[in-house]
Structure 1
Amino acid sequence: MISISSSNDHSARATEDARLSASDWLWHPWYAKLWWSAIPIWWAGMAGASVFEPLYGFHDSAAAGFLNVLFFPMTALMILGVGYVRHWLDGFVRPGTSTTADSVGMDAVRQRDFYRVDPSVDIFDPRSGTIYIGNPENETHG
């Protein structure tokens, strides 16, 4: 059955998206649950390696060093937290809003000057003196 969404559905989704907490990104996805449940298993195996000799052989290898980083809890927190941080930062700027010179109220002449690079710091402008890329006295022409 096809349902037609109304504007109320969109506003309900927007408020639902706005209420997402960090736990929705760190605990609820299936890959997060898998990762968080694998971390104590890995470290229990690391603790067991001090008693069980064949397990010690693996945990002494270079591959185990990489897996130590992968199963370090702060690594999981940082990687899984990226989605939440992006969602959190998206809440500050709404699509379609602009903070450029046109929304500040600058006229056309001032907007053009606002985006113009000063010739004294532009390496592609011959008026910049010795920093000009084509100047034989430029220090980069060693």
Structure 2
Amino acid sequence: MQDFDHVEQTEEARPPSPRAADWFWRPWYAKLYWVTALLYWIGLEIMMAIPYDRVNSSVANTMVLLIFVFNPITVVAALGYGFLKAKVACEEWVIVPGSVPQRPVMDPYTDPSDPRSGLRHLRHVGVVKD
């Protein structure tokens, strides 16, 4: 008869699962990123209230380009990178390679890159116009 109270564990102790709040709110760079994004969006709303003829064009162009930096999806992607790495490191998530994309089979008579397609072929004299 076995003693079930004294069963040895064969698995090694895994590190605890990371929480999203530890990556999106707690680090200093996350706080700085969120505050800067908030100030940017407030500044953008204020700038939109200014008439167009009084707006400094270089500041307006800079604000438009910064939309890509302070876009909420960009913020989540930048701060979530460390979270993703931590989840993979604790072996809770596994990254598997995807399949190799296959080029769809096209009919050679409708494919514009195939010379058998006649007038549809990209280099056909009738297609080239000056």
Residue segments in structure 1 that go unaligned for 5+ positions in a row? 1-10, 94-142
Q: How many corresponding residue pairs? A: 79
Match of 2:79 in 1: 80
Match of 1:57 in 2: 57
| More helix by percentage | 1
Q: Aligned to 2:42, what secondary structure does the other structure show?
A: helix
Residue segments in structure 2 that go unaligned for 5+ positions in a row? 1-11, 93-130
**Letter of the structure 1 residue corresponding to residue 57 of structure 2:** G
TM-score (norm 2): 0.51
The ranges of structure 1 where at least 4 consecutive aligned residues each deviate by more than 4 angstroms after the TM superposition are: 53-56
> Aligned partners of 1:60, 1:29: CA distance in 2, in Å?
31
1:41 to 39, 42, 51: 39
> Aligned partners of 2:23, 2:55: CA distance in 1, in Å?
33
Q: CA RMSD in A?
A: 2.6
**Letter of the structure 2 residue corresponding to residue 84 of structure 1:** F
Describe the shift of the 1:49–1:58 C-alpha distance in structure 2 as closer, same or farther (beyond 3 A).
Answer: farther
Give the fraction of aligned pairs with identical amino acids, expressed as a percent.
27
TM-score (norm 1): 0.47
Deviations 1:34-93 (A, max 9, x none): 1101112101111111223555634531x3233111111111111110001011011228
Describe the shift of the 1:65–1:51 C-alpha distance in structure 2 as closer, same or farther (beyond 3 A).
Answer: closer
Deviations 1:81-123 (A, max 9, x none): 0001011011228xxxxxxxxxxxxxxxxxxxxxxxxxxxxxx
1:27 to 25, 28, 34: 25
Q: Do 2:17 and 2:87's aligned partners in 1 also have CA atoms closer than 8 Å?
A: no
Q: Do 1:49 and 1:59's aligned partners in 2 also have CA atoms closer than 8 Å?
A: no
Question: Higher relative contact order at CA 8 Å, sep ≥6: structure 1 or structure 2?
Answer: 2
Q: Do 1:35 and 1:76's aligned partners in 2 also have CA atoms closer than 8 Å?
A: yes
> Aligned partners of 1:29, 1:75: CA distance in 2, in Å?
17
